[in-house]
Structure 1
Amino acid sequence: MNGFMDKLAEKIMPLANALGQNRYLTVLRDAFMLAFPLTMFGSIIVVLNNLPFWSDETKATLNHLLGNGQSATMSIMTIFVTFGIGYYLSKSYDVEGIFGGAIAFSSFLILTPFFMESEKGEMITNMLSLDRLGAKGMFLGMLAAFLAAELYCRITKRGWQIKMPSGVPPAVAKSFAALIPAVLTLSVFLLINAAVVGFFEANLHDVIYEVIQKPLTGLGGSLPATLIALFFVQFLWFFGLHGQIIVNSVMDPIWNTLMLDNLEAYKAGEALPHIISKPFMETFTVGLGGSGMTLAVVIIMAFFMKRKQYKDIGRLALGPGIFNVNEPVIFGLPIVLNATILIPWVVAPLVVTTFNYLVMAAGIVPPPTGVSVPWTVPIVASGVLATNSWLGGLLQVVDFVIVALIWFPFLRILDRQKEIDI
């Protein structure tokens, strides 16, 4: 078995390392993290405005008074992501990042219609629709930002710049240095937009949304795709690779878009369109003790296993595990390259996620509202906050029991194996 695992590791690890170090996936991850504090603030406002014990009148008043806290953060998340992509991609090429971010964001806006249709069918001009700066514009924003930042960096690297004398203040010199790359990059996007509007009487927002974003979010929000993603998270962690970072770099744009869709529906008092979203993945997978849902494992180790070393590891890992940090048990048990517990490590998250999806699809427990809950919030509290219902917390308790039942026989086998070895 160990020989097979070693050979498998030789095949898997180079690919996983390549994904983990990929320039574009790293930039995308950092761009979303740039938006994280802002989306967290918006989530707090949404939770405060919609507490279950408020009356409808109180909710309406709070949304009127405090609603801008959410509109200026989560509802325009694409702004922060596009700027972050431009900034971090430029920095990765050792090019001035602040101009890269500004140019990427401006390129996205060039492709964005400055009009919208009112409920009465009237065309209102000289305005931006919030949905194009949020969920609906996310994929176009990412594509535009990557392309704009690449163009800006390549032109800059070619030396097509205005170089000022040494006595000019640095801020002025940098502005002039960015002038030609900015003009050329923005001109490309202006011509693209002119071609789409002039020849096809359309806009790239609607084209990308219908052709790319809707199919991708539909696929990424499905149970099979989610289970595949979870399988790779667990599988990569088994070989000591941070599966969460590697897989989330690919899936986060989809899950975050689904989150924003749910949030907009929740604010409007409509049925939530998606079960799976970023809060679903964080609250009902990572939120149960970290990757692999190991809080139950830590408690079994601390209080039910016989060997002292397992008890000690369990008790040391219990504190971090409550806040969903589980590296102590991953490397202390260890879970990494431990063939005895490969089955529960992989199977438990798949079983629990399938169970949660079916329970929410049946309407027994409401899906997450789109509010972003920090992944470090302990079990029960995170479930209540994510779903705005005590049923979310209760579901986490049931999940905890399921994980414990799956893991317990394998931990007992491991405990006895150690006794025999010693």
Structure 2
Amino acid sequence: MNRFMKWLAESFAPTMNRWFSKPWLAAVSSCMQKIIPFILTGSLIYFYNVFVSFIPSLPDLSPILNYSFMLITMIVAFMMANQCMEKLNHPGYTTNAGIVAICILFMAVTPKGDSADSLSSFMGNLGPSGIAVGMVIGLLVSVVFHLWGKLHFLEDSSVPDFVTGWINTIIPNVVCLAIGMIVVFNFGINLVDVILGIFMPISNILSTLPGFVLYSFVMGFFYTLGVSTWLWGAISTPVFMINIQQNIDAVAAGNAATQIVTSEAVFTLAFITMGGVCCTLGLNLLMCFSKSKQLKMLGRVFLAPSIFNINEPIMFGAPVVFNPLLMLPAWINAIIGPIYVWILMSTGLLNIPSKMIQVGQIPAPFCSVMVTQDMRALLWWAVLFVIYIAIWYPFFKVYEKQKLQEESQQVA
């Protein structure tokens, strides 16, 4: 075990951190963080609509939703190109590349055939179901701008700077738009279908129980190595957005929601992330009643953020990160959580979320009832809390014993 932990700490984790800090991956991660406010804006309106269903006289706020979250694919296209240029050190192209990405996205999503003049079809293509399209187009535009930027065209010439700036902007603009025109109009390729077709296998795998468990475990495993969970947004966000939209549409049509794997089920429900990723609320409670003065003090300091499912303090302060005694139960929790949620929802013991509410910092189990609209969530949350405490307990007691020995030696 010691050799394994040494390898994780000295070889695996540093390599992963270096890999994930590379400009392209850092840009994707940053893009996922930048779009969160727009997703939360939509979440607030969906949450508000819960009250509208009980009080119909409340004003209709759907335009706020339609012109924020329902344009998320356009926002992603801009942000992806924008962040790629920023991370690749092309500050002069950050805005322009983003705008060009939107232009090409419009080429790709503009309806054709019988629905060519349909505004609703056009707006629908810019919604959450096409978020993967926005990501790919933003990346492809960034490749062109990056390659052109590396040429440093006219950099040391006598041409005035403003003229050089125009030329170095116009040329990649024309190249990107020309490529988009040839692909979409000359060759008649439906970029939306092609890109979504590429992502479909990922969506199909992640939407299964094994994929659900694997995603949760990988996220938890790397988190215990100090690698941010934001990095996995590029994989999960398109799938989560498509799945929750399918649930919303199904319920609106009078059918039952069927897609379990959504951001609501992973985060807002606060079962898989009870206290935060790796389910550290149980550990936090045990620390609050520890015989170790240090662990008790830390537990009480960390309790408030844990209640709001924010666990960076306990992950890095307890610590769980690179602590072999606490990493193992964290990994076990990352497996138990999705299995538990899948069993409950697939058997009808708990409602599958059918509203997009991605406000993960609402204290549980209130958020659990809110996102499922099911009072049974209170019972199942309490049962799972006990399970998590039971998983943490033996490992925590061993760790506590070590801390007590350290404290006694300091006193001596």
TM-score (norm 1): 0.85
Q: Which residue of 2 aligns with 1:244?
A: 229
Aligned with 2:54: secondary structure?
coil
2:309 is the alignment partner of 1:324: yes
Distance in 2, matches of 1:416 and 1:52, equals: 53
Relative distance call for 1:131 and 1:19 in structure 2 (3 A) is: farther
- Cα shift at 1:394: 4.3
Relative distance call for 1:167 and 1:225 in structure 2 (3 A) is: closer
2:121 is the alignment partner of 1:146: no
2:151 is the alignment partner of 1:158: yes
Which consecutive unaligned segments of at least 5 residues does structure 1 have? 118-122
Q: Which residue of 2 aligns with 1:49?
A: 49
- Cα shift at 1:77: 1.0
Distance in 2, matches of 1:410 and 1:44, equals: 39
Amino acid at match of 2:128: A
Q: Which residue of 1 aligns with 2:95?
A: 98
Aligned with 1:364: secondary structure?
coil
Q: Which moved more, 1:8-17 or 1:92-101?
A: 8-17
- Cα shift at 1:174: 5.1
Q: Which residue of 2 aligns with 1:66?
A: 61
Aligned with 2:129: secondary structure?
coil
**Per-residue Cα deviation, 1:116-175 (whole angstroms, up to 9, x for no partner):** 75xxxxx4536443332123322222111111121123224435589997596xxx9855
Distance in 1, matches of 2:168 and 2:343, equals: 56
Q: Which residue of 2 aligns with 1:135?
A: 128
Please report the RMSD computed on the Cα atoms of aligned residues, expressed in angstroms: 2.9
- Percent identical pairs in the alignment equals 24
Aligned with 1:334: secondary structure?
coil
Relative distance call for 1:419 and 1:386 in structure 2 (3 A) is: same
Amino acid at match of 2:86: K
Q: Which residue of 2 aligns with 1:120?
A: none
Q: Is contact 1:164-1:173 (8 Å) kept?
A: no
Q: Which residue of 2 aligns with 1:351?
A: 336
- Cα shift at 1:392: 3.8
Relative distance call for 1:318 and 1:144 in structure 2 (3 A) is: same
Distance in 2, matches of 1:164 and 1:270, equals: 68
Q: Which moved more, 1:392-401 or 1:318-327?
A: 392-401
Q: Is contact 1:160-1:181 (8 Å) kept?
A: no
Q: Which moved more, 1:124-133 or 1:143-152?
A: 124-133
Q: Which moved more, 1:216-225 or 1:268-277?
A: 268-277
Q: Which residue of 2 aligns with 1:281?
A: 266
**Per-residue Cα deviation, 1:181-233 (whole angstroms, up to 9, x for no partner):** 21121001110112441xxxx52222333x32322211122221222222222
Q: Is contact 2:52-2:58 (8 Å) kept?
A: no
**Per-residue Cα deviation, 1:344-366 (whole angstroms, up to 9, x for no partner):** 11112311221111101111111
Q: Which residue of 1 aligns with 2:213?
A: 227
Larger RCO, structures 1/2 (Cα 8 Å, 6+ apart):
2
- Cα shift at 1:334: 2.2
**Per-residue Cα deviation, 1:357-413 (whole angstroms, up to 9, x for no partner):** 110111111122241322222112222332233334543333222211221232223
Q: Which residue of 1 aligns with 2:194?
A: 207
- Cα shift at 1:15: 3.5
Amino acid at match of 2:345: M
Relative distance call for 1:105 and 1:300 in structure 2 (3 A) is: same
Q: Is contact 2:271-2:384 (8 Å) kept?
A: no
Q: Is contact 2:154-2:164 (8 Å) kept?
A: no
Q: Is contact 2:357-2:371 (8 Å) kept?
A: yes
Which of 131, 156, 177 is 1:186 aligned to? Answer: 177
Q: Which moved more, 1:155-164 or 1:308-317?
A: 155-164
Which of 99, 120, 125 is 2:117 aligned to? Answer: 125
Distance in 1, matches of 2:405 and 2:148, equals: 66
Distance in 1, matches of 2:48 and 2:40, equals: 12
Distance in 2, matches of 1:401 and 1:52, equals: 35
Q: Which residue of 2 aligns with 1:342?
A: 327
Relative distance call for 1:328 and 1:142 in structure 2 (3 A) is: closer
Relative distance call for 1:408 and 1:35 in structure 2 (3 A) is: same
Distance in 2, matches of 1:252 and 1:92, equals: 21
Q: How many residues of Structure 1 are paired with residues of Structure 2 in the alignment?
A: 402
Distance in 2, matches of 1:167 and 1:29, equals: 33
Q: Which moved more, 1:4-13 or 1:82-91?
A: 4-13
Distance in 2, matches of 1:363 and 1:215, equals: 26
2:10 is the alignment partner of 1:10: yes
Q: Is contact 1:322-1:378 (8 Å) kept?
A: yes
Q: Which moved more, 1:178-187 or 1:135-144?
A: 135-144
Distance in 2, matches of 1:391 and 1:164, equals: 73
Relative distance call for 1:261 and 1:31 in structure 2 (3 A) is: farther
Amino acid at match of 1:98: T
- Cα shift at 1:115: 3.6
- Cα shift at 1:235: 2.3
Which consecutive unaligned segments of at least 5 residues does structure 2 have? none
Amino acid at match of 2:81: G
**Per-residue Cα deviation, 1:266-318 (whole angstroms, up to 9, x for no partner):** 45554224101122221235641112111121111102x22222211111111
Relative distance call for 1:160 and 1:260 in structure 2 (3 A) is: farther
Distance in 2, matches of 1:265 and 1:243, equals: 34
Q: Which residue of 2 aligns with 1:109?
A: 106
Q: Is contact 2:29-2:231 (8 Å) kept?
A: no
TM-score (norm 2): 0.87
Q: Which residue of 2 aligns with 1:405?
A: 390
